[in-house]
Structure 1
Amino acid sequence: MSGAPRHILIAGGGVAGWLIALASARALLPLGTQISVTHDGADESLGSHTLALSTLPGIQDHHHALGIDDIAALRAARGSFKLGESYTGWTTGGTAILPYGDTGADVGPVRFHQQLMRLGTRVRDMDLAAFSLAGSAARLGRFAPPSPDPASILSTLDFGLHLESGGYARHLRDAALKAGATAVEGCVVSAERGADGRLTAAVLDDGRKISADLFIDATGERAALISGVLGVAWESWAVPGLDQIASALADDSASPSPLTRNEAIGAGWQRSMPLYKATASQIIFSSGEMDDDAAVKRLGGNANISAFNPGRRGTPWSANCLAIGAAACIPDPLASAEHHLAASAALRFLKLVPHEGGGVVEAREYCRVFAAETSSARDFTALFYTAQTREETPWKAARTLEPSAELTRHRALFDARGRIPRSEDGLYNEAMWAAAFIAARVEPRDHDPLANGLNEAALKQRCEQVRQLVANTAQRLPAHGDMLAQLHGSRP
C-alpha cells in the first residue's frame, strides 16, 4: 500500500504558505515526506491588501494545534489583542459593538437578546457591549486574559489578535524551518503537467524545475498554479458599488484599542486595526466617488491600491494541487476570516493527506468543508451590506447585493422572532450571528414566545445585575496599552 506523498512543494511563502508548511512539517516529516517552500521575500499569500490581520477568537485553537505560542506570535508581529468589532455610520443608532465571548446569560433556551426584547428593548437601541465583559472592556480600552475558572466573570472573555502580516509570516517561517521544512529561493510562475492532467513539476522564474507529488498554491491573487495552470474558475462576490481597496500600515504611538473599527463614509468604508505602535488601515470604496489620490491621502499619504474582488475558487483542490489563502478565497475584510480560513485549511489538509498518487476522495471532502466555511464568511459580510441604510450612491448599489439562499433563511428567522439557526461552519457561533444582526440593526417583528414565560420584574433585576457586574469588572481591568507595553518590552 502506498504511503504519504514523498514530496510536497508549497509555491509561495507568506502567512498562508508558512502556516501549511509548519502544519505539514510537524505531521509528515516523521513519515519521510519532504516539505519545500519556494519564496521570493514577498508576502501576498492572503492578498496584496492584507498588511495586517484582524482575527477571530479561534486563532488560539489554531495556534495550539500548530504548536505556536500566542504571546510569541504577538511579539513577533507588533500584535495587540482584539475583543470585538465596532460599526459606525452603517445605520442609524450610533456605534454598535460586536463583542467576543459571552454576552449576558441565557435562561434555559431563551437567548440573552431575547430577554432584552422581552423587556421591550428595540434592537436599534440595544447595547450588547453593556452586558458583555469583552464589549465593555473594549469600550474602555482595557484587557485581561480569560480565566479558566468558570465561576469567574473573567471566564466570559474571549479574544482574537491584531497581527502585522510581515512579522507574523517571518515567525511562522522560523517555526516551519525549525520543524524541518526546506526553503527554496525563487518564484513559481508555472508548472508542467503529465498526460493525466496532474502537475509534475513547478517552473520557477529563473527556469528551474522542481518535481513533487503534491503542490500547494500559496501565490495569492496570482494563483499561479490553481488558475494559471489548471484554470480553476473564480466565483466573484463583488459588492455592487465598491470596486477598489486601499491599504496602509503606519507608525502610531497612541495606545491601541482592543477593537477593530469599521466606519462607513460616503464613498465606502474604512477599517482600522490597531497594532503595537502602529495602525493598519483599509478603505473599501467606489472609484466613481473617490479617486485613488483621495484614498491615499485619507490613509496618510502612502497606501497600496488594488481592485476589490472578494470571492473563491469553485474547487480549491483540483488534481494534485491545493490552493490556500488568497489563491483559494479572498473574504471581505468585514469577515475577519483571512487567518481562520488559511489555518483551518492547513489543519484540515492533515486530516485528508492523500496517499501517493491518490486524492480524489480527499479532495471532494476538503472542498465540501471549504464551501461551507467560505459561504459563512460571504454571508456574514453580506448581512451588513444589505442591512445598512445609507443613501449615498455606492451604498444604494451595495444594497442590491443578492443574498444567498442560506443568508435569506437566516434573515427570515431573525426578522420573524429574532431567532438564529444553529451554525456548524466553525467561523461564527450563534452568539456572534445574533450580535451581527443586532449590530446591523435588523429589527425583528416579535420576540421568542418562550421569553414570555420569564417573570418580567425578576428578569429586569437580573439584567441590571449583569450590567453592573460587567461595568464594575471592566473598570478594574488593566489598560490594554499597559499590558502590551509589558508583553512587548522595548521592542516594537
Structure 2
Amino acid sequence: MKNTDLNQVRRVLIVGGGTAGWMTAAMLARILGEQIDLQLVESDTIGTVGVGEATIPAIQHFNAALGINEAEFLRETKGSIKLGIQFENWGRQGDSYMHAFGPVGRQLGMASFHHFWLAAQAKGDNSSFWDYSLNYQAAKAGKFSPQSQLPNSPLPGLQYAYHFDAGLYAAFLRRYSEQRRVKRIEGLIAKVEQKPSGDIAAVVLTDGQVLSADLFIDCSGLRALLIEQTLAAGYDNWQHWLPCDSALAVPSEARYPIVPYTRAIAHGGGWQWRIPLQHRTGNGLVYSSRFLDDEQAKQTLLSNLDAPALAEPRKISFVTGRRKQQWRRNCVAIGLSSGFLEPLESTSIHLIQSAVVRLVQCFPATQDMTALSNEFNRQSQQEFEAIRDFIILHYHLNQRTDHPLWQYCREMALPDALAQRLELFRHSAQIFRQQDELFTEVAWQQVLLGQNLLPASYHPLADSLTKAQLTGFFADLKQVISKTVAALPSLQSFLQSQS
C-alpha cells in the first residue's frame, strides 16, 4: 500500500555538516533517494570537533552500503589500516596489551578459546593470549593484506577498520551527497521557530532565509542547537563513572613506517591517543580538569609526541553522557548532539553510523512519529549504555598508584550490569553479551585479561584435553598464524598499491 497521506514526511533538513552531517546526508540520499527532499545547512565559520579519526570494522559496511571504493576512500581521506588498539600503562605502568579485532584462537565445542588458554596456563603453559591473535601478530609486524579467509585453514582473515582524516572524510561525503541531489545551504542559524504543538517548524538564517521541513536532524555537535537548546530533551550525566571532561588535540608530523593500530597511552591524569595517518599523526590527551589543569595537560601531551607538532593544541570540553531523548518530536540528534563518549574505543564515528542506520530503519512515513521515536530512543539508550560500560571497564581495572584519578576510578561504584559481568568473569571466566551489543566476547576477554584480571576458574570442558593435546592445539595455531603473517606484505606497500 502506497503512502499518499498529505501528512507524509518529504522534506528533511540536516542542521550542521562535519562528519555527522555528511554521513547522514550520504546514507539518506543513497537509500531514500527520490523519496525525500534533502537539504543540509552549515556554516564555514563554525569549526567541527574533528578528532574522530579512528574507527572500528563496522565502518566497512557503511562505506560498502554507499558503494564507495576502498582504494579511492583511502586516497581521498589520507587513510590507513587499523587492526586494533594498543593500551599502554592501563593495568600497571609499563604494561601493554591490545584489543585486537577479530578472533583469538579457535573455539572448541561449546567453550570459547580463552577457557582452553586458561587451562593451559594452569598446567604450566606460559604463552601469551595474543600469540593466537592473527590481528595482533600482523599489527606488531606492521603487515596487512585484505583476505576473507586464511588459505587452507578454517580461520578468518584479518579484521580491520581505518584511520582517516575526519575533515577529509566529511568533504568526500559532501561531494558524494551533492552528486545525489543533496542541497547544501551556507549560513548561520539566527533562530528556531516552533509550531504550537512544540514541533520544530523552521530555522531562520542570519540572512533572513527560512528553512522549513517535516523532519529535522540535529548534527550541530556539542551545541545541540535543536535537540537541547530548543526542545530540551534532557541529558544523562555520566561523569561520576567517567570523570574526564576535557581533551587537547594536536596533529604532528607523520612517522614512517605507519603502524596499523591506534595507541591509547595512560598518563598521570588521563590518557593519550596516537592515530597514524598517511600525511600526519593525530594526537590528543583526554583528562579530568578535576585532577589535572590545562597547562599540565598541555605539557603532558606535547612532551609525549613522537614527532614535531604541526599546530597549537586545541581544547575540547565535554560532559560524558547521553541525550535522554535522542529523537524528540520531529527532531533526531546524530553525532555529538546526541551525547558524548570519550574515544577510548574509537566509537565516535560508529555512533554516528549506527544512528544513521537506525534512522533509515525507523524512517517515518507520516508526521506521527511517536512509536518510531520511542523505539529509536530505546535502541540508542541500550547502545550508549553498553559502550559506556566497556569504557568504564578500562578505567576501573587499573592498578596504578601514581595519581588520584586512577584511585578514584578503581574505587568508584559501578553500574549494576558491569558489576555483574565482572563478578561472573572473576568466578567463572564467562562473558555473555546481548545479541545486538557492539563489543564481542573476545573484546571483553582481551581487556579483562590484558588488565590482569585472572578468573578463579574456567569451563570444565577445557580439562577434557590433556596437556599434550593442548600443547599440540596451540602449536598448530601458532604455526598457521606465523606462516600467514610472514607471507603478508607490509602495510606501507599495501598503501602504496592503493594510491
TM-score of the two chains, using structure 1 as the length reference: 0.93
Distance in 1 between residues matched to 2:62 and 2:8, nearest whole Å:
23
Given that residues 242 and 392 in structure 2 are in contact (C-alpha distance below 8 angstroms), is that contact kept between their aligned partners in structure 1?
Answer: no
TM-aligned CA distance change 1:24 to 1:214, over 3 Å: same
2:77 is equivalent to residue 66 of structure 1: no
**Is 2:45 aligned against 1:35?**
no
Task: Provide the rounded CA distance (Å) in 2 between the counterparts of 1:68 and 1:371.
Answer: 30
Which amino acid in the other structure matches residue 449 of structure 1?
P
Separation of aligned partners in 1, 2:146 and 2:190: 44
The 1:44–1:324 alpha-carbon spacing in structure 2 relative to 1, beyond 3 Å, is farther
Correspondence 1:438 to 2:441 = no
Q: Encode CA deviations 1:391-419: one digit per residue, 9 max, x unaligned.
A: 11121122244422221222122111111
Structure 1 residue 469 displacement after superposition: 2.2
The CA distance in 2 between the partners of 1:218 and 1:165, in whole Å, is 15
2:22 alignment counterpart: 18
Instruction: Tell me the amino acid that sits aligned with residue 83 of structure 1.
Output: L
Quote how far apart the aligned CAs of 1:365 are: 0.8
Which residue is 2:237 aligned to?
Answer: 236
Q: Any unmatched runs of 5+ in structure 2?
A: 303-308
Match runs of 1:111-150 below 5 Å: 111-120=112-121, 127-148=128-149
Q: Provide the rounded CA distance (Å) in 1 between the counterparts of 2:147 and 2:154.
A: 9
Counterpart contact for 1:251–1:277, Cα < 8 Å? yes
**Contact 2:9–2:364 (CA under 8 A) maintained in structure 1:** yes
1:347 is aligned to 357
Tell me which residue corresponds to 1:403. Answer: 414
Aligned to 2:247: 245
Cα shift at 1:204: 2.4
Distance 1:288 1:355 in 2: 47
2:381 is the counterpart of 1:371: yes
Identity percentage of aligned residues: 30
1:153 CA drift (Å): 6.8
Closer/same/farther in 2, CA of residues 99 and 43 from structure 1, 3 Å limit: farther
CA distance in 2, matches of 1:151, 1:20: 41
- CA distance in 2 between counterparts of 1:253 and 1:436 reads 27
Aligned to 1:479: 490
The count of corresponding residues between Structure 1 and Structure 2 is 484
- Distance in 1 (CA, whole Å) between partners of 2:195 and 2:243 is 43
Counterpart of 1:5, as a letter, is: V
1:71 shift after superposition: 2.7
Q: Which runs of 5+ in 1 are unaligned?
A: none
Give CA-to-partner distance per residue, 1:303-347, whole Å, 9 cap, x none. 111224221101100000000000002122113111111111111
3-state SS of 1:85 partner: strand
Name the structure 2 match of 1:194: 195
TM-score (normalised: structure 2): 0.91
- Per-residue deviation at 1:152? 4.3
Kindly state the Cα deviation for residue 209 of structure 1 after the two structures are TM-superposed: 1.9
Give the equivalent residue in structure 1 for 2:54: 54
Please give the per-residue CA displacement for 1:92-138, whole angstroms capped at 9, x wherever unaligned: 3721111111211010111111111011259x977332111110010
Q: Which residue of 1 aligns with 2:261?
A: 259
* Contact 2:263/2:273 (8 A) holds in 1: yes
User: How far is 1:4 from its partner?
Assistant: 4.5
Residue aligning to 2:276: 274
Give the deviation of 1:302 after TM superposition. Answer: 1.6
Q: 8 Å contact 1:312–1:328 — kept in the other structure?
A: yes
Residues 279, 153 of structure 1: alpha-carbon distance in 2 compared, 3 angstrom cutoff? farther
1:120 partner SS:
helix
CA distance in 2, matches of 1:112, 1:12: 46
323-332 or 242-251: bigger deviation: 242-251
1:245-299 deviations in Å (ceiling 9; x for gaps) = 1111223142211111111111211111111131111111233554423433433
- Mark the CA change 1:397 to 1:288 in structure 2 (over 3 Å): closer, same or farther: same
SS in 1 for 2:382: helix
Corresponding letter in the other structure for 1:22: A
**Aligned counterparts of 1:100 and 1:121: Cα–Cα separation in 2:** 26
Closer, same or farther: CA 119–125 of 1 in aligned 2, 3 Å: closer
Deviates more, 1:207-216 or 1:421-430: 421-430
